Amino acid sequence: MTYRKLATLTVLATVMLAVLPNLAIAQMSHQHASEAACEETVLRCATKVTPAFAPDGTLWLAWMAGGQISVASSKDRGRSFSTPVQVTRERLNLDWGPDARPKLAIGAKGELALAFSTFRDQAFNGQVLTTRSTDGGRSFDPPKPITTNNESQRFEAIGFDPGGGVFAVWLDKRNRVPAQQRGEKYDGAGLFFATSKDGGATYSDARLVADNTCECCRLALAFDGAGHPVVVFRNIFEGGVRDHAIVTFNDLATPGEVHRVSSDDWQIAACPHHGPSLTISPAGTYHVTWYTNGKARKGLFYARSRDGGKTFSDPLQIGQPNRGPSRPQIAAGPLGLVMAWKEFDGQKTSIHLMTSHDDGATWSKPTDIADTADSSDHPLLVSDSRQTYLSWMTKADGYHFQAIEGEP
Amino acid sequence: MKRHLLAALVLLATLPSALAAGEGAPKAFERGSWQKLLHAHAGHPTLVHFWGVTCGPCKVELPQLGQFMKDHPDVDVVTISADLVPNLPEATRSMLDHAGLASAENWIFGDGFAERLRFEIDPAWQGDIPRTMLIARDGTITTIEGSAEIADLNKWSEAQTATIR
């Protein structure tokens, strides 16, 4: 290397150093404004992580990171994971709304079905895409739209019915345009469903459950003892009241009557971005948790139904009202019921938890089991044949998967 | 080779400003921004509107607010895009432009830890949008959850004018 070249390099290096801090600041501020810790597709960079156990005890995760959906599995309850498999290839504008996440369902033979939403255009109209794996999660079919209709769809939920089919529900705005053409007002979206007999490769034509549901909250889906789908959703009742409703299907193709979960009287023309959670215990009791800011009550609530969703118990308030309790989850596990939610004290978000061993009649005192000082995903609950676990993605502290202690 | 390197360096040096959305882009709303905002508008009737690009009802309300701003030059109009994941300054700006709100004081959530930003504004707010806060001359805050009725805004605005007469 000649002296001249060295001098040039030195000058270049100096300029580089002068420029770098700016770049570093730009990079940092970008990450500060993001919910993600990093921009790659690995689990550590995920903003939303969805867990599910396979019948053989394998834990599967589907996550959203680096603009892609990936999955990996764990044979040791979350201590170590397989090499991730990327489900999506193209750079999609994945639905990053607060109540959106990839959905993962696992059949009795270990078959994997996935669903997720994207923003298909500049106006943030959504599209629900589905895919499946027939080789134990080693590869996935190219994702396909769940329906041929092109109106906005979001907030899908999927599950395997006991017969081995995949049942899917989602919110769909297709009935809005014809209503408006007739000069009628159409609030919200429609609750639609479809079924797949080939493990999620193709779905039946979409069918309507109910029009005028709230368009921006996640749905809760579970199956009753007879294998009938049960869906809880934020509805729009008379007068623009966005309270929760429930529907139990008579069979996989026939939605039953829609009943009201609670009369909270939350009249609001807004997107609460805050959907419910549902689990059905072995006794056949429906257990529902939800958020409301209604005239009748404000905060997080729990109620149960012993008559298949026709009537519900008086709502029980959850969490400390001055700590903004949010994102309630409920799961009926092998050891009883577990309820988890978030609270925020001005500095950190903590996950609080209660358990019940009498089918929801009484609940333990709340305990906090995890916290983080930056943004985080919703706390999710998942059970294997032994117990229930908390699954929680955080920006600052990575992914948590922990057995819930205190379960006798 | 050297020329290319220099060109690359010039590009690198200008990148951070090129990455910013440019003039008229919404300002980043960060920790402490709310108190600064309240301080800056103290003594002025101020309408603060929280919204987001993916929120259906917001799309309907935004142009109405644009009209309100035109009709009420005496009210400071502030918008804050409070969707949970921001980083969409272009979409935000385009919707504000179309709604006639380009000249309002526009902000966009600039902290991924949205809980903390919301807590500073109102600890009870769980993130539902649209949401409007009417801040009177004396600092009294009236919060409207969901889409605001323009008639209510007009009534409030008239009351503000009346207080200085």
Q: What distance in Å separates the CA atoms of residue A346 and residue A369, rounded to the nearest whole number?
A: 18
Q: How confident is the model at residue B124 (pLDDT cuts 50, 70, 90)?
A: confident
First to last CA, chain A: 72
Minimal Cα distance from A125: which residue of B? B54
Return phi, psi of residue A140, to 5°. Answer: -130, 145
Span B58-78, average pLDDT? 96
Q: What is the pLDDT of residues A177-205, one digit of tens each?
A: 999 999 999 999 999 999 999 999 999 99
Span A360-372, average pLDDT? 97
Task: Tell me the sheet residues that pair with B63.
Answer: none
- Side chain identity, residue A43: L
Q: How confident is the model at residue A406 (pLDDT cuts 50, 70, 90)?
A: low
| Contact of B107 with B46, CB cutoff 8 Å | no
pLDDT (0 to 100) of residue A388: 97
pLDDT (0 to 100) of residue B165: 54
| Contact of A253 with A196, CB cutoff 8 Å | no
Span A221-227, average pLDDT? 97
Span B123-127, average pLDDT? 88
Closest-CA residue to A370 (of A326, A346, A403): A403
Q: What is the pLDDT of residues A102-156, one digit of tens each?
A: 999 999 999 999 999 999 988 889 999 999 999 999 999 999 999 999 999 999 9
Report the percentage of chain A scoring pLDDT > 70: 91
Residue B80 in contact with partner chain A when CB distance is under 8 A: no
Query: Is a pLDDT exceeding 60 seen at residue B41?
Result: yes
Span B113-121, average pLDDT? 92
Span A275-284, average pLDDT? 98
Q: Mean pLDDT lowest for which of A23-27, A275-279, B87-91, B152-156?
A: A23-27
Residue A374 in contact with partner chain B when CB distance is under 8 A: yes
Residue A272 in contact with partner chain B when CB distance is under 8 A: yes
Query: Is a pLDDT exceeding 80 seen at residue A23?
Result: no
Minimal Cα distance from B123: which residue of A? A324
Query: Is a pLDDT exceeding 80 seen at residue A15?
Result: no
Q: What is the pLDDT of residues A392-402, one digit of tens each?
A: 999 999 999 99
Query: Is a pLDDT exceeding 70 seen at residue A355?
Result: yes
Q: How confident is the model at residue B161 (pLDDT cuts 50, 70, 90)?
A: confident
Q: How confident is the model at residue A21 (pLDDT cuts 50, 70, 90)?
A: very low
Is ipTM beyond 0.85? Answer: no
Contact criterion met (CB < 8 Å) for B126 and A97: no
In a mutational test of the A interface, the residue from B27, B84, B117 whose CB has the highest number of chain A CBs within 10 Å is: B84
Q: In 10 A of CB A262, how many CB atoms?
A: 23
Span A58-80, average pLDDT? 97
Contact criterion met (CB < 8 Å) for A293 and B5: no
If one compares A229 and A20, the residue with the highest pLDDT of the two is A229
Query: Is a pLDDT exceeding 90 seen at residue A35?
Result: no
Q: What is the 3-state secondary structure (H, E, C) of chain B?
A: CHHHHHHHHHHHHHHHHHHCCCCCCCEEECCCHHHHHHHHCCCCCEEEEEECCCCHHHHHHHHHHHHHHHHCCCCEEEEEECCCCCCCHHHHHHHHHHCCCCCCEEEEECCCCHHHHHHHHCCCCCCCECEEEEECCCCCEEEEECCCCHHHHHHHHHHHHHHHC
Report the percentage of chain B scoring pLDDT > 70: 81
User: What is the CB-side half-sphere exposure of residue A271 using CA atoms within 13 A?
Assistant: 27
Q: What is the pLDDT of residues A105-116, one digit of tens each?
A: 999 999 999 999
pLDDT (0 to 100) of residue A9: 45
Residue A348 in contact with partner chain B when CB distance is under 8 A: no
Contact criterion met (CB < 8 Å) for A268 and B145: yes
Return phi, psi of residue A44, to 5°. Answer: -60, -25
Q: What distance in Å separates the CA atoms of residue A372 and residue B149, rounded to the nearest whole number?
A: 39
Tokens describing residue A102: 């990839």
CB pairs under 8 A between A and B: 124
Q: How confident is the model at residue B164 (pLDDT cuts 50, 70, 90)?
A: low
pLDDT (0 to 100) of residue B84: 64
Tell me if the domain spanning B21-164 has CATH number 3.40.30.10: yes
CATH topology assigned to domain A42-213: Neuraminidase (2.120.10)
pLDDT (0 to 100) of residue A346: 92
Distances (CA, A) of B121 to B36, B50, B61, B131, B133: 11, 11, 21, 12, 10
Q: What distance in Å separates the CA atoms of residue A171 and residue A173, rounded to the nearest whole number?
A: 7
Which chain B positions have a beta carbon within 8 Å of A8's beta carbon? Answer: 2
pLDDT (0 to 100) of residue A123: 83
Span A332-353, average pLDDT? 96
Residue A28 in contact with partner chain B when CB distance is under 8 A: no
Span A289-314, average pLDDT? 97
pLDDT (0 to 100) of residue B55: 85
Tokens describing residue A15: 């300029």
Minimal Cα distance from B58: which residue of A? A270
Cis link prior to B123 (omega < 30° from 0)?
Answer: no
Minimal Cα distance from B117: which residue of A? A346
Residues A292-307 as b/e (b if ≥16 CB within 10 A, e otherwise) read bbbeebbbbbbbbbee
Q: How confident is the model at residue B63 (pLDDT cuts 50, 70, 90)?
A: very high
Region for B139 from its dihedrals, namely left if φ exceeds 0, alpha if ψ lies in -120 to 50, beta otherwise = left
Return phi, psi of residue A375, to 5°. Answer: -65, 160
pLDDT (0 to 100) of residue B27: 93
Q: How confident is the model at residue B85 (pLDDT cuts 50, 70, 90)?
A: low
Q: What is the pLDDT of residues B4-29, one digit of tens each?
A: 544 444 444 444 433 444 457 899 99
Query: Domain boundaries in chain A?
Result: 42-213
For chain A, how many residues are written?
408
